[in-house]
Structure 1
Amino acid sequence: MARYHIETYGCTSNRGESRHIEQALRDGGHHPADGPEDADVAILNTCTVVEKTERNMLTRAKELEAETADLIITGCMALAQGDEFREAGVDADVLHWDEVPQAAMNGECPTVTPDTDPVLDGTVGILPIARGCMSNCSYCITKFATGRIDSPPVEDNVRKARALVHAGAKEIRITGQDTGVYGWDTGDRKLPELLDRICDIEGDFRVRVGMANPGGIHGIQEELVDVFARNDKLYNFIHLPVQSGSDDVLEDMRRQHRVDKFVDIVETFDERLDYWTLSTDFIVGFPTETDEDHAMSMALMKEVRPEKINVTRFSKRPGTDAADMKGLGGTLKKERSKEMSSAKMDIVADAYEQMVGSVQEVLVVEEGTGDSVKCRDSAYRQIIVQNASEHGLEPGDFAEVEVTSHQTVYAFATPV
């Protein structure tokens, strides 16, 4: 029997893959070690979204190699840039996610599929509904790891979701490289059907939809927002990364949408939902981004006022077309990032300020710092309840709370 150690970096999809790997190992009779130094095998599930992350992955791989008996590297960087580890002199097996359990078990036991048991992280169930995407963005290296969209049948995903609920999941996080294109490979857009089916499962739980690119959502936004409107189990939250407010930059990025499509989706949700959260992403300093393009991004952000905003400085990823473009200076990217991040904080703080005094039904998702718990309201906004033990609150509980104050990106509340 092997003792294993798993470290996971990156998005929720990566965490879901790690849970699948760990489930297969446990089904095979293997056990987690206290740390890499006590493990027979260490598994590093990597991310490679930006250059800084890539450097961190190489550093951590070298550290783990020295700390453990055997090292397996998987995840996006392993699949897209496996040679980087070899060139850095890291002695490890670089494998696809699906190959990890069998390699870690040395063929001693059959690999049990992750379908046999639900995958849980506390009271949170992570449900990857598909792998891959339908985009060909000029700056993205992850596509080399994940490939084109591969969508399992709706019934398969519903069965997995039901198993998670029966095992005690109170929050199901639907993940994927692009959830909006689920089903495209089979000739149909199936995300609305899947969400309806999952929300029909008996039980008291909530569902969060992971990242969906505007190009995949546009055209089904009316049908999709109807699903949100009629299902209380579904958080009124959508992660819709626009990346730029300039159509010229979006074209150079090879994004499958333009600004008007993004705005159209936002307006559709605004018309149907009184209280919801828009999460979006901006890439600052793309090689062809002019001062005017940056101003357009700033204007768009201030126009739609997302309640959650991720700002990322462009970094060249090896093997991508954008890596061959003449880049902007680091100082200019830093200035633009600083300007956008400052505006972002004002917008997000205003959204949380408007919540003060309101009463919200929340789900306690996880423990916080000290005697506090982290909760999510119906729009997936983070609310902290302090002195949780005094109120008898723990992960998995539902409660009514009154928002008393905020700290820019989250609110504080007390039970009613």
Structure 2
Amino acid sequence: MDDFETSLLDETPLQSRHSEPDATPAAKRVFIKTFGCQMNVYDSERMSEALQAEGYVETSDASEADLAILNTCHIREKAAEKVYSDLGRLRDIKRDRAKGGKDTLITVAGCVAQAEGEEIVRRAPAVDLVLGSQSYHRLPELLARLRNGESALVETAFPDEDKFQALPDREPAKAASAFLTVQEGCDKFCTFCVVPYTRGMEYSRPVSSLVEEARRLVARGVREVTLLGQNVNGYHGDGPDGRATTLAGLVRHLAAIDGLDRIRYMTSHPRDMSDDLIAAHRDEEKLMPYLHLPFQAGSDRVLAAMNRKHTGADYMRLIERIREARPDIALSTDIIVGFPGETDEDFEATLTLVKEVGFAHAYSFKYSPRPGTPASKMEGQVAEGVKRERLERLQAVIDEGHSRFNRATVGRTLPVLFEKTGRRDGQLVGRSPYLQLVHADAQPDLIGRIIDVEIQAAGANSLSGVIRGSK
């Protein structure tokens, strides 16, 4: 299912990773641009780490890159078309560098690569390598083949080997928070979703591997990890005893790591929100009171057409149980409007559910057909103007709920994990337990520390406050 992928597609801008300040002129340079979700950000980090052993350093300037990688997202048509637009610019850079005797290799990685394969080379002949989302551990090997004279390589098979085991140990840049992919793929087959086709069936990494990686992150200064997966609460990795471990069990193992103070996870499916995971929100102090739990639509008829396997009433009962276990939990969700066949009454059911739950945040999207998915062939495709009007109405309700939640924190003192400097001198930016951005005046030596901040104001997208203590 694509709940994870859609959750941040519009929230996360296209981004390139920054160059190392001590890069030497003789070093090979790699430019990586990441589209879409947090899992793609994680994948880009791992590709960069694998390339370090090959002598590459990162650059934010594509015009100086010996290797350019577009790590792509395939959730909606616009996202895929942006890739081809960028490939046109990279083609021109490759041509201009060639005039100066410099080679440039262009790689398309990720979900668009997985879905479109050789079609990418046909549409963009300047591409040297198409690398699927399950094969990026083979990047150094494939680059060597290109340097030895091969061309237009397409690697989109689902390999038998575990790519995580084939990658080098992580040594990321020091940071206060980090992503940790624990699960990939999905077996739910929602009718609008491409994930089972681009990421494959569900696979969960062993607990021991994840604990080791988390320990290395903590050693680099990380105090918070976000566990990633397309269906993360379906996690079932092998535990120390050889038996399958649930996500709640994994959280307990990670919570035992000294120096790891906060744990989050996303994205979840309502059908996999198990009793022990709900209990973990009640019992595990390090598990943050924030839950992203997509429901997608409020109409049971639309949910059935989506193959979601839950009803609106099922979702509301689940929310009641979660809030009973953790009354202060902040809830976030994904919502699709204009799914094929959606009527005005169906849409009103979605609005009603949003108002009843009172989400702290939500990501809402107009339905966009993805080639190869059952929904793309359904009758009753909703007119673009109708989808746009419904989305505007929904977002107005979502925005009010978001503002209401933020305003409710004014006057409270919240522990904030500061992550970076702000836009003005003397300002730091961090996250509250509820994932809200918080600004406060402070010195840079507080980055990576959890500080008590009295919230004094709530803006549209962030909070501001003054420091009251630290730990």
Q: TM-score, normalised by structure 2?
A: 0.82
Change (3 A) 1:79 1:259: same
Structure 2: how far apart are the matches of 1:309 and 1:20?
29
> Where do 1:119-198 residues align within 5 Å?
119-120=172-173, 122-183=175-236, 188=244, 190-198=246-254
Offset of residue 265 of structure 1: 2.3
**Number of the residue aligned with 1:82:** 117
Deviation at 1:408, TM superposition (A): 2.7
Separation (CA, whole Å) in 2 of partners of 1:295 and 1:198: 42
Task: Quote the sequence identity (%).
Answer: 28
Q: Does the Cα contact within 8 Å between 2:171 and 2:220 map onto a contact in 1?
A: yes
Measured after TM superposition, the shift of residue 17 of structure 1 is 0.8
Name the SS for the 2:411 alignment partner: coil
Alignment-derived partner of residue 373 in structure 2: 320
Alignment correspondent of 1:95: 131
Contact kept? 1:141, 1:317, Cα under 8 Å: yes
One-letter code of the match for 2:91? E
Contact 1:62–1:90 at 8 Å: present in 2 too? no
RMSD: 2.2
Structure 2 Cα separation of the partners of residues 196 and 289 of structure 1: 41
One of 42, 56, 60 as aligned partner of 2:82: 56
**Distance change (3 Å), C-alpha of 1:59 and 1:121:** farther
Q: Does 1:351 align with 2:405?
A: yes
Deviation of the 1:67 alpha carbon = 1.9
* 2: CA distance, partners of 1:144 / 1:120: 32
- Residue in structure 2 matching 1:331, options 365, 385, 400: 385
Structure 1 position 121, deviation (Å): 6.6
- Partner Cα separation in structure 1 for residue 211 and residue 119 of structure 2: 38
**Aligned counterpart for 1:383 among listed residues 438, 460, 466:** 438
Residues 34, 245 of structure 1: CA spacing in aligned structure 2 closer, same or farther, 3 A cutoff? Answer: closer
CA distance in 1, matches of 2:432, 2:419: 10
Instruction: Judge conservation of contact 1:2–1:105 (CA < 8 Å) in 2.
Output: no
Report which stretch shifted further, 119-128 or 235-244. Answer: 119-128
Q: Say which of 20, 28, 35 aligns to 2:54.
A: 28
Give the distance between the partners of 2:259 and 2:237, measured in 1 at CA: 30
The 8 Å contact of residues 246 and 259 in structure 1, kept in 2 or not, is answered as: yes
Q: Is the aligned partner of 1:236 residue 2:289?
A: yes
Matching residue of 2:360? 307
In the superposition, relative to structure 1, how do residues 256 and 57 fare at CA in structure 2: closer, same or farther (>3 Å)? Answer: farther
Amino acid at match of 1:95: L
Gapped runs of 5+ residues in structure 1?
Answer: none
The question of whether the paired residues in 2 share the 8 Å contact of 1:364 and 1:396 is answered with yes
2:465 corresponds to: 413
Q: Which residue of 2 aligns with 1:15?
A: 41
What one-letter code is carried by the residue in structure 1 that aligns with 2:253? R
What letter corresponds to residue 315 of structure 1 in structure 2?
A: S
Deviations 1:227-261 (A, max 9, x none): 22222222111111110011111111111322233
CA distance in structure 1 between the partners assigned to 2:376 and 2:146 by the alignment: 41
Offset, 1:197: 0.5
Give the AA of the match of 1:103: L
Unaligned runs of 5+ in 2: 1-26, 95-103, 148-163
Deviations, residues 279-303 of structure 1 (Å, cap 9, x unaligned): 1010010012111110000000000
**Cα distance in 1 for residues equivalent to 2:145 and 2:90:** 19
Q: Contact 2:224/2:260 (CA < 8 Å) preserved in 1?
A: no
> How far, CA to CA, are the matches of 1:121 and 1:343 in structure 2?
39
Q: Describe how 1:173-322 pairs up with structure 2 within 5 A.
A: 173-183=226-236, 188=244, 190-217=246-273, 220=274, 222-322=275-375
Does the CA-based 8 Å contact 2:205-2:237 persist in structure 1?
Answer: no
Write the distance in 2 (CA, Å) between the matches of 1:148 and 1:121. Answer: 33
In 2, Cα distance between equivalents of 1:184 and 1:336: 40
Q: SS of the counterpart of 2:439?
A: strand
Letter paired with 1:20:
R
Deviates more, 1:92-101 or 1:72-81: 92-101
Change (3 A) 1:76 1:55: same
User: For 1:55-105, what per-residue CA distance to the aligned partner results, in whole angstroms no more than 9, with x for missing partners?
Assistant: 112111221232241101011111012344234234211112233233235
**8 A Cα contact 1:3 1:33, kept in partner:** yes
Give the letter aligned to residue 365 of structure 1: E
Separation in structure 2 between the aligned mates of residue 253 and residue 112 of structure 1, nearest angstrom: 35
Task: Report if aligned partners of 2:174, 2:221 keep a CA contact under 8 Å in 1.
Answer: no
CA distance in 2, matches of 1:415, 1:233: 22
- The CA deviation at 1:384 is 2.0
Distance 2:446 2:108 in 1: 35
Q: 1:363 touches 1:377 (CA, 8 Å); kept in 2?
A: yes
Q: Distance in 2 between matches of 1:84 and 1:121?
A: 39
1:12 shift after superposition: 0.8
Structure 1 residues 200 and 187: CA distance shift in structure 2, 3 A: closer
Name the amino acid aligned to 1:339. Answer: R
- Secondary structure of the residue aligned to 2:285 is coil
List per-residue Cα deviations over 1:205-226 (Å, max 9, x = no partner). Answer: 3111111111222xx1x31122
1:396 partner amino acid: G
Contact 1:277 1:381 in 2 (8 A): no
Q: What is the number of residues matched between the two proteins?
A: 408
Structure 2 residue 72 is the aligned partner of structure 1 residue 46: yes
Cα separation, 1, equivalents of 2:168 and 2:61: 27
Report if aligned partners of 1:24, 1:113 keep a CA contact under 8 Å in 2.
no
Residues 292-350 of structure 1: CA deviation (Å, up to 9, x unaligned): 11000000000001101001000111111111123111110011000000011111101
In the TM superposition, what whole-angstrom CA distance separates every residue of 1:97-146 from its partner, at most 9, and x where no partner exists? 233233235589xx994352244573222210022112101111232110
* Whole-angstrom CA distance in 2 between matches of 1:175 and 1:230: 21
Which letter maps to 2:308? Answer: R
TM-score normalised per structure 1 = 0.92
Residues 125 and 171, structure 1, Cα contact 8 Å, conserved in 2: yes
